[in-house]
Amino acid sequence: MFLKRQVPLAIVFIVGVIMLLSWFIPHEPFANLEIHATQWFDIIASFAMILGALNLLKLQGRKVIRRQKGWIYSLAAVLGFFVTLTFGFFFKGGYYLEVKDVGVNTEAFYQTVSEVTHTELDVVRRSFADVGEGKVINRNYYTHAGVLKLQNTLSSLGTVVEVNELQWGQHLQERGTFYSWIFYSIFTPLTSTMFALLAFFVASASYRAFKIRNTEATILLAAGIIIMIGRVPLGAYLTSWLPSWLQWLHLPRLQEWIYQYPNAAGARAIMIGIGLGIVGTSLRVILGIEKSFMGEK
């Protein structure tokens, strides 16, 4: 019980106080404590990810085995997990050619490299003219067979090239590897799709928010319209005829005023509340008054 209750509380108190004071002490060993603490946290979180991964496999795997509702999605999750893991740790791809000697048929060589790397001929010409031999052709191939095909084509032109393979670790960054294919061709479009959904959700949410139900909603609608129109050239055009004594009604000026004063005042009031809430919560946690996050009453 002592190890489960008192020790964690003592650690939270000591670390919390030290971290708090370190912000006011620029001298070593306190100066870079925040950076070190963040790194420790990242390391611990990385190891903890194994727990998460196991939990994911257990629950989704069980769904697939028992053919529970929506098991097909679970199957996609499990397959996605293993395929990514396999290409991350076991099959990397990333074969490329290193030019040892361009040979005499230089124009044909430049032409071929330009085609396979989708680079302008002049750029290729300049690139290989500057460095000469020992330069890498900027195209990675997933398979050995793929790179050999290009090697044969270049060899027939009299160019001497050597087949190389990306190092482990490099395959996570460079294009033309299985892992990067998964990342750029599957993961990124899926993520972008989810993000793009926001546009539709913003439209539906705005419709509800701007519906005139009461005084507050009407004010919100009016402010929203002024801000939206005032920020585009149309707003300036619509109110450009106003006489000088009514210039404060000029839409760009009006929207700026709404944005800078009522909006900023409201936002800052919320920020102060949030700041105080964070201070209060932090104090309760550091002093051990709030212990429920550790599973204690």
Partner 1 sequence: MEKKGVILILIFLMALALPLHAGLTLNATADREEPEGRKVILTAGEIEQAFRYDVYKKNTHDEDWVFILGLTHLDKPLIMDIENDTPVQFRIVAVDRNEQTIDEVITDPVVTKAMWFNTKRIVRFISMILVSGIILFYIRKARKMQSIYLRPIAGLNAFEEAVGRATEMGKSVLYVPGIMDLDQVETISGVIILGHVAKMTARYEASLNVPVSRSLVMEAAREIVNESYLSEGRPDLFNPDMVHYYTDDQFAFAAAVDGIMLREKPAAVFLQGKFYAESLILAETGNSIGAIQIAGTGSPSQIPFFVTACDYTLIGEEFFAASAYLGQDPKLLGSIKGQDIVKGAIMVTILLGVIFESLGFSFFKAIFNL
CB of residue 267 vs partner 1: minimum separation in angstroms? Answer: 6
Within 10 Å of residue 279's Cβ, how many Cβ atoms?
10
The binding track of 23-62 with respect to partner 1, each residue x by CB under 8 A or -, is xxxxxx--x------x--x--xx--xxxxxx-xx-xx---
DSSP letter string, 14-65 = HHHHHHHHHTT--STTTTTHHHHHHHHHHHHHHHHHHHHHHHHHHHHHHHHH
Q: Does 202 bind partner 1 (CB under 8 A)?
A: yes
CB of residue 62 vs partner 1: minimum separation in angstroms? Answer: 9
Q: Which span sits near partner 1 by CB under 8 A: 94-102, 115-123, 196-204, 230-238?
A: 196-204
Cα 180 from Cα 184, distance rounded (Å): 6
Rounded to the nearest 10 degrees, the angle between the axes of helix 144-156 and helix 106-117 is 160
Scan residues 120-179 and list those touching partner 1 (CB under 8 A). none
The three-class DSSP label of residue 162 is strand
Q: Does 218 bind partner 1 (CB under 8 A)?
A: no
Q: Counting every residue, how long is the chain?
A: 297
Q: Does 79 bind partner 1 (CB under 8 A)?
A: no
- Single-letter amino acid, residue 273: G
For tokens 């990675």, the residue is: 140
Q: Does 191 bind partner 1 (CB under 8 A)?
A: yes
Within 10 Å of residue 14's Cβ, how many Cβ atoms?
11
Token digits for 231?
A: 């920020």
Cα 115 from Cα 138, distance rounded (Å): 11
Cα 193 from Cα 181, distance rounded (Å): 17
Output 201 or 241, the one with its CB closest to partner 1: 201
Q: Does 226 bind partner 1 (CB under 8 A)?
A: no
Output 165 or 290, the one with its CB closest to partner 1: 290
Q: Which span sits near partner 1 by CB under 8 A: 82-90, 96-104, 234-242, 272-280?
A: 272-280
Q: Does 212 bind partner 1 (CB under 8 A)?
A: no
Output 26 or 243, the one with its CB closest to partner 1: 26
Output 204 or 244, the one with its CB closest to partner 1: 204
- What one-character DSSP code corresponds to residue 177? B
Interface residues with partner 1 (CB under 8 A) are: 20, 23-28, 31, 38, 41, 44-45, 48-53, 55-56, 58-59, 69-70, 73, 190-191, 194-195, 197-198, 201-202, 204-206, 208-209, 267, 270-274, 276-285, 287, 289-290, 292-297
